[in-house]
Structure 1
Amino acid sequence: MHTVLDLLRLLADRTDEGVGSDAPGDDLERTAAELAASQPEAGALALRIRAAMDAGRRRESELAALVEIARDLTSEPDSGSVHDAIVRRARALLGTDLAYLTLYDAERGDTYMRVTSGSVSRRFQSLRLPLGAGLGGLVAASRTPHWTGRYAGDGRYRHTTEIDTAVAEEGIVAICGTPLLVADEFVGVLFAANRSARPFGPDDVALLGSLAALAAVSIVQTRRLADTATALDALRGAHAAIAEAADAHDRFAGVVLEGGDVADIAEALGRLLGGWVTVLDLDGTPTARHGPVPDDLDTTAALRRAGRETGDLGGRPVAVPCAGGAWVIAVIAGGQRLGTLLLGGIGGPGAGTDGELSAAQIRTVERAGMVTALVMLFTQRADETDRLDRADALDELLAAVGPPRPAALTRVSGLGISARRPHVLLVCRCAPGRRRAVAREAAALGGRSGLVGERDGAVVALLPGDDPGASGARLARPASTQDPDGAVTVGAAGPFRPADGTDAALAEARRSVEALVALDRVGEAAAASDLGFAGLLLGERPDVAGYVTGILGPVAEHDERRGSELVRTLEAYYAAGASPTRAAATLHVHVNTVAQRLERVGTLLGPGWQEPDRSLEVQLALRLHRLGGQGRER
C-alpha cells in the first residue's frame, strides 16, 4: 500500500528529473490512483501539484522556443529548410513523439506529406490525404482544428485503408491537427502526434494553432520571396528601394534574434531614418522612444488617425502622415491592435521635404511595424499568461483562512515567491478605469517576486519587504485637476510571512484603506501604525507601546535624560482644561515654570502639537502611558 510519503518522493523525483523526464510520472499517477482509494484528497493533490509543475516548466520553455522558431524561419535559405524547422520546433515545443506538415495541392485537391520529424514509416512519410478523409483531411476540409486521444476507432473521422495502414505502421495513437491559414488562403495542416494515448488539451491545441499561424505566414512569405528573388536578379538596379527595405527588415530581424525588445527596434528605425521614434501602448503611454521626441506631440490625435486609417484598410498596418510632420502606423498582429508607432524629424537618404517619406522609407516603417507587432505579441502573451498565473495564485492565498495549503505554497514558490520571508500586502482603491494601470504599476514594483490581482473591486498586491507604509506610498496618488478620477488610495499591512496566512493582513489593509477614505485622506497610503489612534482600532495586533513612543517618545526621553517632569506637566495641563495657571497650582510650581516646560514640549513635539487633532493624539498617548506605568507597578 502506497503512502503519502511515496507520493512526496515521486514528486521530488519529478522535480529533480526536469522537464524532459516522464520516468517518475507514470509511477506518480499509479501511486496517486492507489492512494486515492483510501485518501482521495492526497491522490488528487499530488496530481494537481505535478500538473502545476509541468505547466510552469512548459510556459518557461515556450517563449524561448518561439524565439528559436523565429530564428530558424528567418535564417533558413529555402522553403525546404523552413518546413524542416517548423516541424522540428513544433515537436520540441509540444513535447510529442512526432510532428509533421502537409501542404495543399490545389491541382489535385488534396494534401500531401511534405516533411516529418520523429517518423519511422516510409508509407506514412509519403501519405496523401484527400479532403475530408481522416483527421487531417477533415482539418483541411473544415479549416478548423481537430484532435483525438485515440485515432483508431474514433467514429468522428472517415477512415480509409491507406490512411489507417500508414497510421498503424507509424504507431500513432493520439493526433492533433490545425490548419495553416493566411487570410483566406489555405496552405496546409500542421500536426503533432503521440504513439500513446496521451490526450491533447486546449492549451496544446492553442499553442499548435499559434505555431501554425506563424508557419503559414513563413511558408507564404518564403514562397513569395522565392518568386520575387528571380525578378530581383534581373531588376536589381531598378529596385534599389526594395533592396533598402529588405535590408531594413534584416536589421529588425537581427535585433529580435539578438534578444532585442521594442526599444531596440525603435532605436534601429530611428537610426535608419535619421529621426525620432516613439512606441505607445494601447493606453497611449510611451513604452519606448529614440531621439528628440517633441514635448508637444499630440498623441491623442495620432492614435485616432492610426485607428481610422487602419479601419479603412481592413486592419492592414500602413504608415500615414499626421500633424506636425509626424508619421503614424498602427501595430497590429492577428487583427489585434497592440499599440502605435510614431516617428518624425526624418532626414535620412531619400527623404522628401517637410518630413515626407520616400516609398522605400514607408516600406521600412511598415516592416518595423510588423516586427514590433511580433515582439509585442510574444511579450503580451507571455506577460498575460504570467499575470493570470500570479493573480490566480494570489487569489488562492487570500482565500485561505489561516496558513495556506501546501499546494498553494508550492505554486507561489514556482512563481518566485519566498513565502517564508517578510512581505507586505497592499489594497489599492481607485476608479474602475484606473485599475489596470495600478495593477501594472504594482506588478512592476514587485517584479518577479510579487503577486498582483483584483479582489472585491480593489487591486491587491503582495510584495516582498518589511515597510508597508513605504511600499504603499509608491502606489498612492492624489487626484488632480487634469485627472479627477486618478486618485489611488492604499491601505497597507505587514510585514508578515505568507506561509503563515494572509487573511489577517488582508483584513487590516482593507480597514486601513477604508479609514483613509473615511478620514478624507483619499490619495494617500497608510498602514494601521500610520493612522494614529485610528490605527489602534484597525490594526490586527495594536502596538500600544509603539504608539505611545511615536507620540511622546521625545518628551519621555528628555525626562529620563534630564530628570525633568515634562510628561507630568502635560498630564496636569490637560487635566486642568489646558490652563497653565491651574496646572501650576496642581504641580505646586510657578505658572512661569509651567509655561517654560510647555515651551520645551513644543520644541520636542514640533509645531502644531496643540492643534485639535494632535492634541487628541497626545492626550490619548498620555492615558496609555499612565496605564502602562500602572501595569508595570502592579
Structure 2
Amino acid sequence: MTSARMATVPLGDTTPYQLAQVVHDEAARLFGSDDAALWIHDPVRSLIHPYGQPEETHAVPVPLDFRVDVDGLREASTSEGWGRIAAASFGSEFVTAPGRLWVLPFEFPEKLLAGIVLLGARRAFEPRNVPPEDTLSFTRQTVSLLANHLELTAARRNQDRLNALYKTAGEMSSHLDVDVVLRTIIGNACKLLSAPIGYIMLVDPADSHIFMRAAEGTQHPEFQRLRLQLGAGLGGVVAQHHSSFFTEDYLNDKRINHHPVVDNAVRQEGIRSILGSPMSMRGEFVGVLYVADQRVRHFSDDEIALLEGLALHAGLSIENARLYERDTAALRELRKSSEIIRAQNDLLMKADAAQKRLSATLLASEGLPGIAAVVQELIHAPTLILDSHHQRLAGSGEPRSDIGRTIWERGVTPKLAGFSQIRRTLTDLGRTTRPEPPSIPKAGSNEWQTVPVHAGHEFLGSIWVFPNEPLDETDQPILERAAISVALEMLRERSVFEAGQRLRRNLVDEILSESTTDQSVVNRWAGQLGFQLSGKERLCVVKSSSDVTHALDAAPWCLFSTKYRDNIVALLAPDADLVPKVGGLLHAASAPGRSPHAVISSPLAPGQTYRMAYRLSQRVLDLLGSENQARVIDLDRARVLALLFREGDRETARHYVEACLGAVIARDPAGDLDLVMTLDAYLASGHRPTPAAKALHVHVNTVYYRLTLLTEILGDIRDPVRALDLQVACLVYRLLKGD
C-alpha cells in the first residue's frame, strides 16, 4: 500500500531532516511503534549515520551483525552497537531490550549505499500484522524518495559550486595584491570543497624548490615554513604529471616520495587526506593549490574538477597580481606600465567575452559548428574541429594553403599523416594524456596551430586554426576555453547518442522477442525516437559486413535502424520504391568488394508480428548466402521462397532448380537463347507471347520459336500445376544466379 503523504512530498522544498521526519512518521504509523528513525549506511567507510543529521557528529561504526541482505522486517540484537544507534535515535534513556528494537533494511539500486528504518518502543512489542506486500511497498517508496532526494541535493550542490566558482573567479580577478589574491583563493577553495585546511605552494625557479606561500586552517608554524626539493611529497606527483592527485591517507600512501620534514608537519596537523591541483601561468608550472582534511576522505571527480577550475583561475589571478606589483615598482615608466596593464585588461576582457559567447552557443544548442564559428570570428582565422581519429567534425572559414584545404575537406588522412609537419603536429597532440592550460602546443609549421581536446585522461579530438598571421597571446585563452566547450559538447553528443542506441536496441528486442510484446511500451519508445507506429511499416533485415546503420538512419524513408545479432534491422516507412532505394543505399554505403543482402518484409497482415516477419526475412537471407552480388528481396514478391525453403538451405534450392529446369539449362548452357528468361517472362505474362516479347525486348516470333523449344524439352508448359512449379523454379534460379 503506497503512502499518500510520502507520494506527495515536495522534494524541492524539503530538507533532509524534514524528509527523514516524514519517513519516521509513516514507519511508526504503519508498524505501530512508538518512534522510528532513518539511518544511511556507507559500506566503504563502515559507518552509519541518521539521515538529515551532520555526519561528522552523529555517525557511528556499523554493528558487527549489521546486514542488508535480509528481506522484510527483523528484530535488532541487543548488542552494544545497536544500543548506540538506538540511543542516538530515541535518546540516551532508551533501553535496548528484546522486542523493543526492530530493523527494516533496504538498498539503493546501482549505488554503494544502503540504509535502515529503525523502529523503537518503550516496551516490548510486535509490529502490526502488516502484509509483506505493504512492507515491500513502503521499502520501495522509501528508497525511491531517498534516491530522488539525494540526486536532487547533489544536483543543487553542483550548481551552487559552479555558481560559486564563477563568483570566485570574479573575486580573484578583482584583486591585484598577491597576498589578498592568495588568501581569496585558499578561502574559496576551503569553502567550496568543505575542507578545513587549504594552502598554496609555489615554485622557486632559482633552486628548483617548492615552498609554502600561504595557508589557512593550520595550527603549527613548522607547516607554514615548509620548503622542499621539487619532486618530493604529494606536490611532487602533481608537478611531475601536471595533473591533479589526491590521497585518502597521506602518511601511509606508498605512491608518494615521502620527506621526513613534510611527514612530521602533516602528522602534527593531524592531516589524513590531501588533494592537490597544478597552477600554471602561460603554460609554465608555477605551484600547487591544496585542500586537506583530518579525516579519511575520498575526493569525487566533481571536487577534483572544481579545484582544477580554481587552480586555473588562480594561475591567471596570481599572474595578474604579480604584474601589478611589477608595474607598481616601475611607476616612473608610466607609458610602459600603462601598455602592460591595458594589454592584460584586453586579455581578460577578450577571454571573458569569449567565454560568454561560447557559453551562449552551447546553451543555444548550436553544437560544434557554432563553436567553430565563434572561434573563427574571435581570432580571425579559419577554425576546424577534428575527432580523436583526426576526422572532420565541424569547421568555419577556409584555409588558403593547399595542405590546409585538404585537411579542411578530408581531415588528416593516412597519406597526409606521412608529411613531416603533420606528423610532428600529431605527435604533439598525442604527447599529453591531459590538457595543460594555458599553453598551445606548437606544430611544425606556421600554417596552423592546434589545441588538444580532453575529458579527464581521454583524448577526444583537437582544434586546428589556420591563421594568416601568427596568433598572439590574447588568442590563447580563447582557444583554451574553446577546447573546454568542445569537450563538453562532445560528451553531451556522446551521451545523447548512447541513450538513443540503447532505446533502439530495447525497441528491437521488444518487437522481436519471443514473449508477448507490450504494445504500450513499444509505442512509447517509438515516440521517443520521433515516430508513431501505424501498422503499415515494413521490416528490413540487412546482412552486411559493413556498418550501414548511419546511412540508413539518414534516409527519409527509414524510421530507425540498429544492429541485432549478426544482422542489421531497420523499420521502413511505407513507400512505393523501397527496393531500388535500399539497393542504391547499400551499394553506396558498403565497402568495395562487399556484397550486402537485404530482405524487405511485406506490410504486417492482421495477426502477424514483427518476429514472424524477421524469421521469414532470415530464411531468405540464409538462402541467398554470401557469394552472390548485392541483392534486395521484396517478400511481397518472393514470400513463397521462405515457405518452400524453411531452413534457408541453398543446396536444396539448387536441387530444386536442377530438377525443374536442368534440361532447359543443359540445352542452352551459354544462355544465348535466354530460354529460362523467356520461360519466366511467358509465365509471368499469363501465357501471352506478345507481352512476354515486350518484356524481353525481342520480336514476338522469337518468343514463339523459343516456346517451341521449351515445349519440346519440358512438355506442356501451360498446365496450371506444371506452370506454378516452373515459375517458382525460375524465381529461385534468378535469386541464385543474380538478376
- Aligned-residue offset at 1:404: 9.3
Task: Please state if 1:382 is matched with 2:492.
Answer: yes
CA deviation vs aligned residue, 1:484-543 (integer Å, no higher than 9, x gap): 3898877778999xxx99977876776677677648455x77786687655778999xxx
Aligned to 1:235: 337
Aligned to 2:394: 288
- Aligned-residue offset at 1:6: 2.7
CA deviation vs aligned residue, 1:265-306 (integer Å, no higher than 9, x gap): 432333344443222222333222222356872322776745
Check the 8 A contact 1:309/1:320 in 2, yes or no: yes
Aligned mate of 1:189, from 286, 291, 309? 291
Tell me the secondary structure at the aligned position of residue 592 of structure 2.
Answer: coil
Question: Aligned in 2, Cα 1:273/1:583: closer, same or farther, shift over 3 Å?
Answer: closer
Check the 8 A contact 2:526/2:533 in 1, yes or no: no
Tell me the secondary structure at the aligned position of residue 340 of structure 1.
Answer: strand
Tell me the secondary structure at the aligned position of residue 465 of structure 2.
Answer: strand
Query: TM-score, normalization: structure 1?
Result: 0.52
Give the AA of the match of 1:478: H
Aligned mate of 1:219, from 286, 292, 314? 314
Aligned mate of 1:318, from 421, 438, 441? 441
Tell me the secondary structure at the aligned position of residue 259 of structure 1.
Answer: helix
The whole-number CA distance in structure 2 between the counterparts of 1:364 and 1:477 is: 49
Question: Aligned pairs, how many?
Answer: 485
Query: TM-score, normalization: structure 2?
Result: 0.46
Aligned mate of 2:448, from 324, 327, 337? 327
Aligned mate of 1:256, from 354, 358, 364? 358
The whole-number CA distance in structure 1 between the counterparts of 2:234 and 2:529 is: 43
* Structure-to-structure mapping, 1:194-593, within 5 angstroms: 205-231=300-326, 235-237=337-339, 246-260=348-362, 261-293=367-399, 297-299=405-407, 300=412, 305=421, 308-309=424-425, 311=427, 314-315=431-432, 317-320=440-443, 322=445, 326-333=447-454, 336-344=458-466, 346=467, 355=468, 357-358=469-470, 361-388=471-498, 401-402=513-514, 416=528, 456=565, 473=582, 476-478=585-587, 484=592, 518=626, 520=628, 522=630, 533=640
- Aligned-residue offset at 1:104: 3.7
The whole-number CA distance in structure 2 between the counterparts of 1:54 and 1:451 is: 37
Question: Aligned in 2, Cα 1:598/1:515: closer, same or farther, shift over 3 Å?
Answer: closer
Task: Please state if 1:180 is matched with 2:286.
Answer: no
The whole-number CA distance in structure 1 between the counterparts of 2:516 and 2:215 is: 54
Give the AA of the match of 1:6: T
- Aligned-residue offset at 1:374: 0.6
Question: Aligned in 2, Cα 1:42/1:69: closer, same or farther, shift over 3 Å?
Answer: same
Aligned mate of 2:198, from 78, 99, 102? 102
The whole-number CA distance in structure 1 between the counterparts of 2:601 and 2:493 is: 27
Tell me the secondary structure at the aligned position of residue 310 of structure 2.
Answer: helix
The whole-number CA distance in structure 2 between the counterparts of 1:283 and 1:529 is: 43
Tell me the secondary structure at the aligned position of residue 253 of structure 1.
Answer: helix
CA deviation vs aligned residue, 1:107-151 (integer Å, no higher than 9, x gap): 98699557xxxxxxxx99xxx9999xxxxxx98899754569xxx
Give the AA of the match of 2:447: A
Q: Which has the higher helix share?
A: 1
Task: Please state if 1:6 is matched with 2:29.
Answer: no
CA deviation vs aligned residue, 1:305-328 (integer Å, no higher than 9, x gap): 456246459546324364xx7313
Check the 8 A contact 2:384/2:464 in 1, yes or no: yes
Check the 8 A contact 1:277/1:342 in 2, yes or no: yes
The whole-number CA distance in structure 2 between the counterparts of 1:475 and 1:193 is: 66
CA deviation vs aligned residue, 1:60-92 (integer Å, no higher than 9, x gap): 88997897577546544345776677677x67x
* Structure-to-structure mapping, 1:619-630, within 5 angstroms: none
CA deviation vs aligned residue, 1:420-479 (integer Å, no higher than 9, x gap): 967998777665xx76xx677788899xx9896x66566x68889778969x95995436
Give the AA of the match of 2:337: L
* Structure-to-structure mapping, 1:10-25, within 5 angstroms: 17=11, 23=19
The whole-number CA distance in structure 2 between the counterparts of 1:473 and 1:65 is: 52
- Aligned-residue offset at 1:188: 0.7
Tell me the secondary structure at the aligned position of residue 478 of structure 1.
Answer: helix
Check the 8 A contact 2:187/2:216 in 1, yes or no: no
The whole-number CA distance in structure 2 between the counterparts of 1:530 and 1:66 is: 64
Check the 8 A contact 1:70/1:257 in 2, yes or no: no
Tell me the secondary structure at the aligned position of residue 224 of structure 1.
Answer: helix
Give the AA of the match of 1:328: Q
Question: Aligned in 2, Cα 1:515/1:577: closer, same or farther, shift over 3 Å?
Answer: closer
The whole-number CA distance in structure 2 between the counterparts of 1:290 and 1:86 is: 38
Give the AA of the match of 1:298: T
- Aligned-residue offset at 1:329: 0.8
The whole-number CA distance in structure 1 between the counterparts of 2:542 and 2:225 is: 59
Give the AA of the match of 1:484: P
Give the AA of the match of 2:484: L
Tell me the secondary structure at the aligned position of residue 361 of structure 2.
Answer: coil
Q: Look at both structures and tell me which one has the larger radius of gyration over its CA atoms.
A: 2
- Aligned alpha-carbon RMSD (Å): 6.8
Instruction: State percent identity of aligned pairs.
Output: 10
Check the 8 A contact 1:427/1:490 in 2, yes or no: yes
Tell me the secondary structure at the aligned position of residue 287 of structure 1.
Answer: strand
Question: Aligned in 2, Cα 1:505/1:366: closer, same or farther, shift over 3 Å?
Answer: farther
* Uncovered stretches (5+) of structure 2, i.e. residues with no partner: 28-37, 40-67, 74-104, 107-131, 175-180, 203-209, 227-232, 239-244, 250-262, 329-335, 433-438, 648-675, 698-722, 729-739
* Structure-to-structure mapping, 1:66-81, within 5 angstroms: 71-72=166-167, 75-76=170-171, 77-78=173-174, 79=181
The whole-number CA distance in structure 1 between the counterparts of 2:560 and 2:153 is: 21
* Uncovered stretches (5+) of structure 1, i.e. residues with no partner: 92-97, 115-122, 132-137, 149-156, 165-174, 347-354, 541-573, 588-593, 604-617, 624-634
Aligned to 1:614: none
Tell me the secondary structure at the aligned position of residue 388 of structure 2.
Answer: coil
Tell me the secondary structure at the aligned position of residue 102 of structure 1.
Answer: strand
Question: Aligned in 2, Cα 1:213/1:286: closer, same or farther, shift over 3 Å?
Answer: same
Question: Aligned in 2, Cα 1:224/1:271: closer, same or farther, shift over 3 Å?
Answer: same
The whole-number CA distance in structure 1 between the counterparts of 2:637 and 2:525 is: 31
Check the 8 A contact 1:145/1:179 in 2, yes or no: yes
The whole-number CA distance in structure 1 between the counterparts of 2:447 and 2:636 is: 52
